[in-house]
């Protein structure tokens, strides 16, 4: 009975082959389907742009609140 040497490291091709043996075909990047971007309607685009504007405004509001809080003690 042969035993593996404790300090031996597998070579790169062996590691890659082992990963391919363990993973299912749909878990590999080559086995996945590619999807195109879907076309959004006008209402959805308006909603998303409104949310983006809202987030930017809220970031500015929070930054202004932090600025005022830090400089209120002077």
pLDDT value for 9: 53
Reported as type and span, the H/E element at residue 50 is: helix 42-70
- What is the reported pLDDT for 3? 53
Q: Tens place of pLDDT for every residue, the chain, 74 residues?
A: 555 555 555 555 556 667 777 777 777 776 667 788 899 999 999 999 999 999 999 999 999 999 999 998 76
Whose structure tokens read 């996945």? 32
Question: What are the extents of the domains in the chain?
Answer: 12-70
- Beta carbons within 8 Å of 40's beta carbon, 6+ residues apart: 48
- The pLDDT assigned to 39 comes to 93
Contact 31, 25 (CB under 8 A): yes
Give the distance between the most distant pair of CA atoms in the chain: 79
């Amino acid at each position: 009975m042969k035993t593996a040497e404790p300090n031996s490291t597998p070579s790169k091709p062996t590691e890659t082959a082992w990963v391919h043996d363990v993973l299912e075909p749909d878990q590999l990047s080559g086995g996945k389907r590619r999807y195109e971007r879907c076309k959004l309607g006008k209402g959805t685009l308006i909603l998303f742009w409104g949310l983006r504007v809202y987030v930017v405004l809220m970031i500015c509001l929070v930054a202004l609140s932090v600025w005022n809080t830090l400089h209120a003690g002077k």
